[in-house]
Amino acid sequence: MSGAPTRRPEPAQRTEALESLLVERGLIDPAVMDKFIKTYEQDVGPLNGAKVVAKAWTEPEYRERLLAEGTSAIKELGFAGPQGEHIVVLEQTDEVHHVVVCTLCSCYPWPVLGLPPSWYKDPAYRARVVREPRAVLREMGLDVPADKKIEVWDSSAEVRYLVLPQRPAGTDGWDAEALAGIVTRDAMVGVAVVAP
């Protein structure tokens, strides 16, 4: 018997092995799983957050409540639950650009953003965005002007963050439904801006 520790597979490998076993035994259909994951990653969660943002853009009183007490204002729209406790909302301005990261894990406000994207959980993003946020954002397609301050917010199990993007020019007169249609998950994390 060797004294060397046994190396356990990475969580992604273990998950893949478990999924393969469940598919092999006919307990899950991979197409259904892919659709389920896509729905939560791209539609349901981010759509909830987009509705929150659109309401804040169209109703000043709601915006004030959202910035003062994010969790309860979000709950007004029916979006709550696990990973949705203690949400602080950060407003993008002409002077400051906010970006969110979770350096220790993948703390993420699921009720308003759905499943976290793979890049959010990637160790390279988690480490680099804290040290060199401007460079990371540029690599992700967002060039923040040099005179604009960047603030990086580290989510935790106690506090999660949602970014309230700036409303883009040319959207005056748009209703909340139309506005929600242009809000992206990436803008609500701070790695993108909303464009009409």
CA distance 189 to 71: 16
- Residue 42 pLDDT > 80: no
Predicted local confidence at residue 104, as pLDDT = 81
The tokens describing 53, both together, are 């943002």
- Residue 189: what pLDDT? 97
Instruction: Over range 105-120, report the average pLDDT.
Output: 86
Greater pLDDT, 158 or 165: 165
Q: What is the pLDDT of residue 169?
A: 96
Range of lowest pLDDT (9-18, 74-83, 104-113, 187-196)? 9-18
- pTM listed for this prediction: 0.79
Unique residue bearing structure tokens 């953003």? 113
Q: What is the mean pLDDT of residues 136-152?
A: 97
- The average confidence (pLDDT) of the chain is 89
Q: Does residue 193 register a pLDDT over 80?
A: yes
Q: What does the pLDDT average to over 89-113?
A: 92
Checking if the pLDDT of 138 tops 90, the result is yes
Task: Outline where the chain has alpha helix (H).
Answer: 11-24, 30-38, 44-58, 60-68, 70-76, 110-113, 118-121, 123-131, 133-139, 176-180, 185-189
Tell me the catalytic residues: 102, 105-107
Greater confidence (19 vs 6) lies with 19
Sequence-ordered list of residues with C-beta below 8 angstroms from that of 163, at least 6 positions apart, any chain: 89, 90, 91, 92, 98, 99, 100, 187, 188, 189, 190
**Rounded-to-integer distance, Cα 110 and Cα 102, Å:** 14
pLDDT band at 12 (very low <50, low <70, confident <90, very high): low
Task: Measure the CA angle with vertex 86, ends 97 and 160; round to 5°.
Answer: 40
Select the more confidently predicted residue: 26 or 56.
56
CATH number of 15-189: 3.90.330.10
pLDDT score for 129: 97
- Report which of 187, 183, 98 is spatially closest to residue 149, judged by C-alpha positions: 98
Q: Which pLDDT band holds residue 5 (cuts at 50, 70, 90)?
A: low
